[in-house]
C-alpha cells in the first residue's frame, strides 16, 4: 500500500481558518513526500447533521483534494472491537466503573502525572467487580505499564508526555478517540500524521498504544494553531472565521487560501505553486494570529 497522510476533521460544525490551514499543511506534507492524501471523518462523537458535507465542500474550495473514498469512523466498530479484544486477550485492559466525579475526588496515585486516572478500578477483586457491573456499565481502560512515552515530531523534535490508564471504550459503548485514531491510521496505511499542536500532548498515549498493537508509529508533525488577538485558539465566536462568513464580507475561498499560504511563507495561487517550494524546516513555529478581515 502506498503510504499516506491524512486530514481527520470532526464534523461538529464548519471548519474555520485554523482548521483549513492545518488541512493545507497536511496536504502539503503528504504531497511533497509522494504520499496519498486521505480524508477521514471522525464522527464517533460530536457529529452534527450536515456538517460533513459543508466541511468537504470547503476543503475542496481551498484546493485540498483527497484520494479515494472518504472514510467515516461510524461503521468501523468491528475494527475497533477487534483491537480492544486483542488488548483484552493480552491482559492489557480492565473494566472501570468510576464516575467522572469519583475520578476527580480520588487521591491521585504517587508519582502519577497530573490528571492521570488514579487507578481506582485497576485491581478490583472479582466480587467487587461483579457488584459494580450490576450498578453501571463499564468503560474499558488500558492497563498501561509506563507513565510516560517518547515520540519524535518533525517540528517539535523529541517529545515526552504522560501516559495513563486511558479509556479505550467509554461506558456508553463509544470507542474512544485515542483508540480509534491509532486503529484507523494503521488500517488506512497512514504513516504521516499532520495535525494541530493541541494534540501533541495526546500523542505519547497513541504511540504507546500503537506499540502494544505492534503498529509502527507514524511520522508526526504537529503544526502551530491559529489564534485570536488574545492569543487564544481561534473559535467560531471570533467573528468571520469560516468560508461562509468570509464570503459574506467579500473574501472568497481563493483569497482565504492565499492569506493562509502567505501566513506560512508560501506563494499564493493554486496549491501546486506552494507545493513546489514547500519545506517543513522553513515553516513558522509560532501560532499565527488571525488578522480578521
Ligand atoms: N478529529 C480530530 C479533530 O478534529 C483530529 C484528530 C487527528 O488529527 O488525529 O480535532
To the query of whether residue 236 is one of the catalytic residues in this protein, the response is: yes
Mean pLDDT of the chain: 96
Domains defined along the chain, listed by start: 4-75+225-289 (3.40.50.620), 78-169 (3.90.800.10)
pLDDT of residue 27: 98
- pLDDT-derived band at 112 (thresholds 50, 70, 90) equals confident
pLDDT digits (tens, 9 = 90+) for 42-77: 999 888 999 999 999 999 999 999 999 999 999 999
pLDDT of residue 114: 78
Residue 128 in grid coordinates = 467487587
pLDDT of residue 113: 75
Question: How far is residue 130 CA from its own chain's centroid?
Answer: 35
Residues with CB under 6 A from ligand 1: 8-10, 42, 181, 195, 199
Q: Which atom of ligand 1 is nearest to the CA of 181?
A: 9
Q: Mention every residue, 6+ apart, whose C-beta is less than 8 A from residue 159.
A: 150, 151, 152, 153, 200, 203, 204
pTM given for the model: 0.96
The number of beta carbons lying within 10 Å of the beta carbon of residue 160 is 10
3-state secondary structure of 91: coil
Question: How far is residue 107 CA from its own chain's centroid?
Answer: 30
pLDDT of residue 124: 96
Triad 275, 281, 287: Cα angle to 5°: 90
Q: Are 195 and 22 in contact (CB under 8 A)?
A: yes
pLDDT digits (tens, 9 = 90+) for 120-137: 999 999 999 999 999 999
User: Does the pLDDT value for residue 188 go beyond 80?
Assistant: yes
- pLDDT-derived band at 1 (thresholds 50, 70, 90) equals confident
pLDDT digits (tens, 9 = 90+) for 240-250: 999 999 999 99
User: Does the pLDDT value for residue 293 go beyond 80?
Assistant: no
pLDDT of residue 44: 95
Mean pLDDT score, 185-206: 98
Residue 133 in grid coordinates = 457491573
Mean pLDDT score, 251-263: 98
Ligand 1 centroid–CA 199 distance in Å is: 8
User: Does the pLDDT value for residue 110 go beyond 80?
Assistant: no
Pick the catalytic residue: 46, 48, 152, 236? 236
pLDDT of residue 122: 96
Residue to mutate (ligand 1; options 4, 9, 178; most atoms within 8 A of CB): 9
Residue 15 in grid coordinates = 471548519
pLDDT of residue 3: 96
Q: Which atom of ligand 1 is nearest to the CA of 198?
A: 10
Ligand 1 centroid–CA 245 distance in Å is: 23
- pLDDT-derived band at 107 (thresholds 50, 70, 90) equals confident
User: Does the pLDDT value for residue 184 go beyond 80?
Assistant: yes
Give the burial class of 165: count Cβ atoms within 10 A of its Cβ; 0-12 exposed, 13-18 middle, 19 or more buried.
buried
Mean pLDDT score, 91-99: 97
- pLDDT-derived band at 39 (thresholds 50, 70, 90) equals very high
Amino acid at each position: 500500500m502506498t503510504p499516506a497522510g491524512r486530514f481527520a476533521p470532526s464534523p461538529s460544525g464548519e471548519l474555520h481558518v485554523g482548521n483549513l490551514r492545518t488541512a493545507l499543511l497536511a496536504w502539503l506534507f503528504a504531497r511533497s513526500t509522494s504520499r496519498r492524501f486521505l480524508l477521514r471523518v471522525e464522527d464517533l462523537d460530536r457529529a452534527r447533521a450536515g456538517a460533513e458535507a459543508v466541511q468537504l465542500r470547503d476543503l475542496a474550495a481551498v484546493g485540498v483534494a483527497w484520494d479515494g473514498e472518504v472514510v467515516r469512523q461510524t461503521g468501523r466498530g468491528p475494527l475497533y472491537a477487534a483491537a480492544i479484544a486483542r488488548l483484552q486477550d493480552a491482559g492489557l485492559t480492565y473494566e472501570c466503573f468510576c464516575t467522572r466525579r469519583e475520578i476527580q475526588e480520588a487521591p491521585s496515585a504517587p508519582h502519577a502525572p497530573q490528571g492521570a486516572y488514579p487507578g481506582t478500578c485497576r485491581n478490583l477483586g472479582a466480587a467487587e467487580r461483579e457488584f459494580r457491573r450490576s450498578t453501571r456499565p463499564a468503560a474499558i481502560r488500558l492497563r498501561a505499564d509506563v507513565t510516560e512515552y517518547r515520540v519524535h515530531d518533525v517540528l517539535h523534535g523529541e517529545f515526552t508526555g504522560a501516559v495513563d490508564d486511558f479509556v479505550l471504550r467509554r461506558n456508553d459503548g463509544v470507542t474512544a478517540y485515542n483508540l480509534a485514531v491509532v486503529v484507523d491510521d494503521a488500517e488506512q496505511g497512514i504513516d504521516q500524521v499532520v495535525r494541530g499542536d493541541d494534540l501533541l500532548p495526546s500523542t505519547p498515549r497513541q504511540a504507546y498504544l500503537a506499540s502494544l498493537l505492534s503498529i509502527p508509529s507514524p511520522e508526526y508533525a504537529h503544526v502551530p494553531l491559529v489564534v485570536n488577538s488574545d492569543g487564544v485558539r481561534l473559535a467560531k465566536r471570533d467573528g468571520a472565521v469560516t468560508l461562509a462568513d468570509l464570503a459574506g464580507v467579500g473574501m472568497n475561498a481563493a483569497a482565504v487560501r492565499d492569506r493562509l499560504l502567505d501566513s506560512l511563507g508560501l506563494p499564493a495561487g493554486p496549491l501546486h505553486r506552494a507545493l513546489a517550494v514547500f519545506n517543513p524546516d522553513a515553516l513558522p513555529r509560532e501560532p499565527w494570529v488571525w488578522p480578521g478581515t
